[in-house]
Amino acid sequence: MGCVASSEGEEPKSPPATLAERKAKARTKRKEGSLVHNLVHEEFGRDIQEFYDIEGEVLGEGIQGVVRTVVNKKTGAKFAMKTVPLGAGKNSLAMDQLRSELDLIRRLDHPNIVRLQEVFETEDSLFLVMDLCTGGDMMTRWQRNRRLRYSEEEAALTVKKIVNAVRYCHKRCVVHRDLKLENLLWEHPGEDAEPQLVDFGLGVKFSKEDETFHQDVGSLYYVAPEVLGRNYTKACDCWSIGVIAYMLLAGAPPFMAPSDEGVKIKIKWARVSFPKEVWDKISDDAKDFIKRMLVKSPAKRMSADEACAHPWMTKPRNKQNGVEPVAQAEAMSERQEEGGGGEGAAAVASVTPSTTESSAALDPELVRRLRNFADYGKLKRVALGVIAHSLTPAEIRTLRTEFQNVDVEGRGEISPMDLKNALNKSDNYTDEEVERLFEQIDLDQDGTIGFTEFVAACLHEGHVRDENLRLAFDRLDYDDTGKLTLDNLLEVIGHKSNERTIDKEITDAEVFDALVGEEGKGVSYDLFKKAMIKNFASTDFNSPSVFSTLVRAASKLSIEEVARVTGGSTEDADTIVSGSQATLHGRNSTDALNTMDQQSEEAKHRQRSVDSVTSTEGDGAQYF
């Protein structure tokens, strides 16, 4: 994550603000910010080793710092941490640019953009804790597959994810300015992994659609002609997408020359060619998409919105990252036959994602969770938002697929109509019912349901385990008093909240008294935990459709993933996986299903302690 290039002229010589001043400024920004912005936790002056084991594998090293794997000491979850030195040479402008970069990232909440989790700031270092992507960067995979190249199906689906992420950024007035294969990571090593956009170090916010920038930024093979001329707009991102699409399909950049100067000349000419020996079997739609993205004039170039509507992007696809069409069709057919059924059904969809543009019916188990979420008090819903944001990509992979099924246009957000269409495919809901559900899930009241808000509303009891509750409590207790106050709640929700509306949304009497009653002194952790667990919707672990779907998904799911899907213990999951694998291999399938049913009946009558549910994360491979 590099610093944004500086403006022309001399940099101010004023010294950077003190740590106390930076903390005060950050707190003011929190009160002015949104919920999504404030879910990124900040600590000033505290040793990051209190919270993380930081002796993990080094994933990458650049001018700005080192990236390594770290482990959260409370939850055991793995993340990536970037260390940015704040040496004596950092003046106030450089520090402002760093904070501006962080503010950009905090505005973004999209399934294909890596999330910033926490920021630790000391006098001499900045520690950025982010989602860990274990599948490596797209450049590495591209270099490995250059001779074979991506299939057109794989390339189209990958590019579509990138276009959706960039459109989301542009809608929020953020231009990336350094889109390249190295800044696209695969979330895990599997063939069904999704790309994740990273490194907004050269990113910048714009205030009007045609705002121009003049800094010399970007990476040579990907930069637009107007960037070389230092007079460009957000359209430079779309040019870079065209370059990426060309490279995935051809196995080489569109503009090549023996020297950097030669490459620059070819980019300025903007004459893209499609050699027959490479492009003969690639569709006209793909070539037309690239041509429209690699137009020299930014005004005539496709925007991210227009790119999303291009036929190459809208055509239904039968294969994603190595999932064969037959396997996908069978999995989707099985899901339809079962009529949904628990997060286990969604797990199959996560292995073979839907690629059609019509809204899929929400899994009945998720609909039940959404309805229950709408009945929770404000503190409980916000705390679930904190937990949702802190979960690893592996833990929310299934829910991301469900989110994408509802977000049919790939905007990175769910509209009231999106939710209504998805709900009405499961059952019939009145406009009033949909409106109430939508308003309760839309925690920051911005008129859309964001990715984290959706995940928060779909969490099961396995996510509300003690270590996650403690983490949520500590992040909400921003001033470290050991009690949650109304100010804490107002601060995390941000500028669209006030005491009067919060008062009406606190449904737990004890919590209400502790927060706003005459004797209110704040909510202790014990009361917080009690309120969070109270009336929490449990997964229908015994649903036949959950088990039948898990049977089909067992070959793709680990014991830990089954435990997360069902909300049960790893022992329960072990029984399911063993029985499922026997079924899949045709060995004593009746006995296997009977064993699973028996285990289901025992689980139904056994009270599980929330604290006993565990979750693990797979080993990391590399980050950059």
Q: Hunting for tokens 């941000």 — which residue is that?
A: 494
> Would you tell me how many other CB atoms lie within 10 Å of the CB of residue 316?
9
Please tell me the distance from the alpha carbon of residue 401 to that of residue 349, in angstroms, as a whole number. 7
The strand ranges marked E within 104-213 are 116-121, 125-130, 174-175, 184-186, 195-197, 204-205
Please tell me the distance from the alpha carbon of residue 15 to that of residue 88, in angstroms, as a whole number. 9
The answer to whether the CB of 562 falls within 8 A of the CB of 576 is yes
Please tell me the distance from the alpha carbon of residue 233 to that of residue 215, in angstroms, as a whole number. 11
Token readout for 508 is 């737990």
What's phi and psi for 335, nearest 5 deg? -65, -40
- The single-letter DSSP state of residue 212 is -
How far, CA to CA in Å, does 455 sit from each of 451, 459, 530, 571, 572? 6, 6, 22, 26, 24
Please tell me the distance from the alpha carbon of residue 285 to that of residue 303, in angstroms, as a whole number. 17
Instruction: Name 80's bridge partners.
Output: 69, 130
Spatial CA neighbour of 312 closest among 373, 248, 376, 268: 248
Please tell me the distance from the alpha carbon of residue 422 to that of residue 403, in angstroms, as a whole number. 10
Q: Using CA atoms in the order 325, 326, 329, 332, what is the torsion angle rounded to 10 degrees?
A: -100
How far, CA to CA in Å, does 514 sit from each of 66, 377, 379, 477? 44, 14, 12, 14
Indicate the burial class of 260 (C-beta count within 10 angstroms; 0-12, 13-18, 19 or more).
Answer: exposed
The catalytic residues are 178
- Amino acid at the residue 460: H
Number of H helices, E strands in the chain: 29, 13
Spatial CA neighbour of 436 closest among 421, 416, 406, 457: 416
Q: Hunting for tokens 């992994």 — which residue is that?
A: 193
Q: ∠ CA 553-556-557 to the nearest 5 degrees?
A: 85
Instruction: Name 196's bridge partners.
Output: 185
Phi-psi region of 534 (alpha: psi -120 to 50; beta: other; left: phi over 0): beta
Please tell me the distance from the alpha carbon of residue 128 to that of residue 150, in angstroms, as a whole number. 33
